[in-house]
A and B are shown apart, each in its own frame.
Chain A
Amino acid sequence: MTFKRMLRIITAWIVVLTFFFPIYYWTTVAFKNAKEIFDVPPRILDFTPTLANFEKVFGISFGFGFGSQATVTPGGGNFYMAPRLWDTIVVAVGSTLGAVVIATLAAYALSRIRFRGRHQFVAWVLSTRMMPPVAVAVPMFFIYKEFRLLDTYIGVILIHTIMNLPLAVLLLKSFFDDIPHEIDESAMIDGSTRWQIFVRLILPMSRGGIAATAVLCFIFSWTEFLFVLTLTQTGLKTVPVVSSSFVTSIGTAWGNMAALGAASIIPAFIFILLVQKHLVRGLTMGSLKQ
């Protein structure tokens, strides 16, 4: 093994460990009892694992039931969060589906159909991402109140879909642009309609791009904080917002927060694994133009 190769491997391990260690440490906090969490020096490997934090957050002994858990810890709150994880999954999947479906149609139109002001339209789509979300949050609160969308799944899914649409449209447009126009033209000569070309040719060919877009939309929705905080009350909450409720007036329930955090990685991880084979290709596919 050459020195260069050795150096490359060592560097790769350092990079991987740098990214992996915080996740590992956070996960160990979820399995530690309250006394061990603050041990100095920190216990990296030699701790007594416990499921107590998961028990409180997910009610394991209740078979992951979705009922209410009437327990109160001294000074602490009700940290039963299984329904909140479910809320997060519903919102992330719903908004990802919404954004990808709408963005695919819009991006194809922008890529293939020539109409007046097309370039300005693309610039306008991009500009909607430039406005800071906090500037929109308060007006959205008023609109939602008027339309009775506050504190509803459909309301949060809608705002996340709107939030993700510009990025999804631009990303998918670049993927569609990479598919040679000659394919469309040949199909048209063979008698296919625009819709048939889109469904039977373009969509299957851009699976990688759609998967990459879906992953990004999913992650943005999974981690979004501001809109969920502003537009929900007691009906639903997603993991990022509900994580802050572990901060109580007499301190932070770190073990419970870590348990929810560690568990909330799993659905996102599964989603990414499912589309992984498309992901790398998709992420690089749009980077080169013909």
Chain B
Amino acid sequence: MDSLKKQYLAQVTDKYVKGEIGRRSFLRNAAKLGLGVGALAYGMTGRPFLKTALASDLKPSSDVMSWLRDVGKPFAGTTLKLATESTPPSNAIATQLKQYFEEASGIRIEIEVLPLEQVLQKLTLDVASSLGTYDLYYIDQSWAASFSRDVFDPREQYADNSDLAMPNYNMDDFLPALVDGIAKYEDRWVGVPYDIPIFIMIYRKDIYEKLGLQAPKTLDQLYQNSRAITEEMGPSMYGTSGQMKSGHYSLECDWTAWLWGHGGSIFGPDGKFTGNDSAGLAAMDYWTKLEKTMPPGVHGWTWDGQGQSVAQGVAASMLSWGEFFPYFDDPNSTKVSGLCEAVVPPNPISLRTVSQTGYGEIPGVGHQGGSSLAVSRYSKNVDAAWIFMQWATCADTQALITALGGGTGPTRTSVYDDPRVKANARVGAGTTRHLDVVRETIASHMGSEPDLPEWAEISSDTIPVALGKYFAGDYSSPKALMDDVKKQVDSIIEG
């Protein structure tokens, strides 16, 4: 069965499961595919059947396997190590795909899965010791500046090692916005874009329809909608949600979305903090209003709690990481399967240009996270690691990761159009039906944090601690808060 047939069958099945078409109509449509009664079982059982059918077809391309067999021979028996956050790409590789790589190349890959802050600790230790205990680095976008000199620039590796270069690897296929936002520091590539969580607008279509609301196109509409839902349905349902845990990086992520959306920026062209200017204060006023429409526990939540608040039917919308969407569609884990819709983030009130900011900051309501994958300069197995890196980030592997790993956003243009990825665009666990929105958000709404070595400290400690204190009532006004943040941030940068 080819992918288009599967896609069609998935759509028809969705309609049947949701009661939009009857059994007769479902069978008629299925018969067009030559499936007949067998399709009814698919319709009844839904996801498991689809999962099995797809999983059996989801194998690496023979060209890629053949290249691995050829190029991997001299390195057979080598063991590579990678420390990574538990993200969909890493998990899909670790649990489903690495066996293909190991069988074909003879190179072993050991993947250590850790929370993000522990990955940073491991990498810092590895860099400080220059011991090369890890051959590959998983680099969060906020660390790019810190590790830029400790990894190889993949463009140089590709050009310098023609014997090891994967045919059709095509570096230009990586979404240019992601190269700038995730993998680039000054003129160097700090690895290649590996995964891309990005803020999209997710809302409960059923609740919005019930109250006659439209998906928010502006920040003001988001506030008005959220207020209307909270007033109408609270305290059992709140209009929106947040990731506002005091002192946590997630709080800084939320802040930047509102800041950029109000025409503000973190830094000015002179490299000084500008969150305390009029746009920055307007953003704080807006956020303070919006926070009143969120569930009471929001100050204890990172993205985890925020996601759960939507998944368990407590909040009707969130501007947050698109990676949550496939999880929301999982009927076994959430109460909102099939009820959520994704749209691009609300339009900003105004937006600064990159030249009006500092350290390469790119303003945009769609806050972009993400990470790159790079070969460590301290690795004792640079060539073998480079082979693995090309395989892990090539278009074929990315398509498999997206299809198997739960609808994570690809970093390559071609993967968004891959039939294997399109085939999963239906309601159900691991859906990819939100990926068009992700792609559009990357192209037109993406906001990217500045790149400077001090950014890890500023974004994960200085700013979220101060914001947490503000929401706890420790500052008399947004101005008092932002003036204090300015003092701290400028002093860190000045050293």
Contact = CB atoms under 8 A, between A and B. Distances in A.
B466 interface: no
B86 A248 contact: yes
A284 interface: no
Nearest to B89: A249
Name the residue among A145, A245, A249 with the largest chain B CB count within 10 angstroms: A249
A251 B86 CA distance: 10
Interface size range on B against A: 35 or more
A119 B223 CA distance: 70
A75 B113 contact: no
Interface string B421-441: 000000001100000000000
Nearest to B110: A234
A81 to B, nearest CB: 12
Given A248-B87, A251-B303, A252-B304, A72 B92 contact: yes
Interface in A239-264: 244-245, 247-252
A34 B129 contact: no
Interface string B309-345: 0011010000001011011001011110000000000
A162 to B, nearest CB: 20
Nearest to B312: A38
Contacts of A75: 88, 91, 323, 326-327, 405-408, 430
A38 B336 CA distance: 13
A48 to B, nearest CB: 13
A150 B133 CA distance: 10
A237 to B, nearest CB: 8
A138 B304 contact: no
B112 A250 contact: no
Contacts of B407: 74-75
Contacts of B197: 249
Contacts of B408: 75
Interface in A48-91: 69-78
Contacts of A77: 86, 90-91, 94-95, 113
A240 to B, nearest CB: 12
A39 B309 CA distance: 10
At the interface, is chain B mostly helix, strand, loop or mixed?
A: mixed
A145 B133 contact: yes
Contacts of A244: 114-115, 118
Nearest to B295: A40
A35 B115 CA distance: 24
B112 A34 contact: no
A70 B99 contact: yes
Contact of A39 (B129, B312, B330, B429): B312
A34 B311 CA distance: 10
B115 A247 contact: yes
Given A34-B333, A70-B95, A245 B115 contact: yes
B87 A35 contact: no
Interface in B190-220: 195, 197
B81 A233 contact: yes
A74 B95 contact: no
A177 B195 CA distance: 62
A73 B94 CA distance: 12
A150 B129 CA distance: 14
B404 A250 contact: no
B308 A230 contact: no
A246 to B, nearest CB: 8
B111 interface: yes
B308 A72 contact: no
A229 B304 contact: no
B83 interface: yes
Interface string A108-148: 00000000000000000000000000000010011001000
**Of A35, A69, A244, A248, which is in contact with the most chain B CB atoms at under 10 Å from its CB?**
A248
Contacts of A33: 332
A249 B332 CA distance: 19
B312 A229 contact: no
B95 A249 contact: no
**Main SS at interface, chain A:** loop
A61 to B, nearest CB: 16
Contacts of B413: none
A250 B307 contact: yes
Contacts of A249: 85-88, 116, 195, 197, 321, 323
Given A40-B314, A74-B430, A75-B327, A245 B86 contact: yes
A35 B334 CA distance: 6
A72 B95 CA distance: 6
Nearest to B94: A78
A145 to B, nearest CB: 6
B326 A74 contact: yes
A77 B197 CA distance: 16
A140 B330 CA distance: 44
Contacts of B321: 249-250
A33 B134 CA distance: 37
A70 B314 CA distance: 33
A38 B308 contact: yes
A251 B304 contact: yes
A141 B83 CA distance: 16
B86 A72 contact: no
Nearest to A244: B115
Contact of A233 (B83, B90, B92, B326): B83
B35 interface: no
Interface string A161-192: 00000000000000000000000000000000
A234 B335 CA distance: 36
Nearest to A34: B333
Interface in A257-286: none
A39 B406 CA distance: 25
Interface in B100-156: 110-116, 118, 121, 125, 129, 131, 133-134
Contacts of B94: 77-78
Nearest to A230: B125
A233 B91 contact: no
A35 B81 contact: no
Nearest to B430: A74
Interface of A: 33-35, 38-40, 69-78, 138, 141-142, 145, 150, 229-230, 233-234, 244-245, 247-252
Given A74-B406, A245-B114, A249-B86, 5 more contacts: A35-B312, A70-B95, A145-B131, A250-B88, A250-B321
8 contacts: A35-B312, A39-B312, A70-B95, A72-B405, A74-B405, A230-B125, A233-B81, A250-B327
Q: Which 6 A-B pairs have the closest CB atoms?
A: A74-B406, A248-B86, A234-B110, A77-B91, A34-B333, A75-B406
Interface of B: 81, 83, 85-88, 90-92, 94-96, 99, 110-116, 118, 121, 125, 129, 131, 133-134, 195, 197, 303-304, 307-308, 311-312, 314, 321, 323-324, 326-327, 330, 332-335, 404-408, 429-430
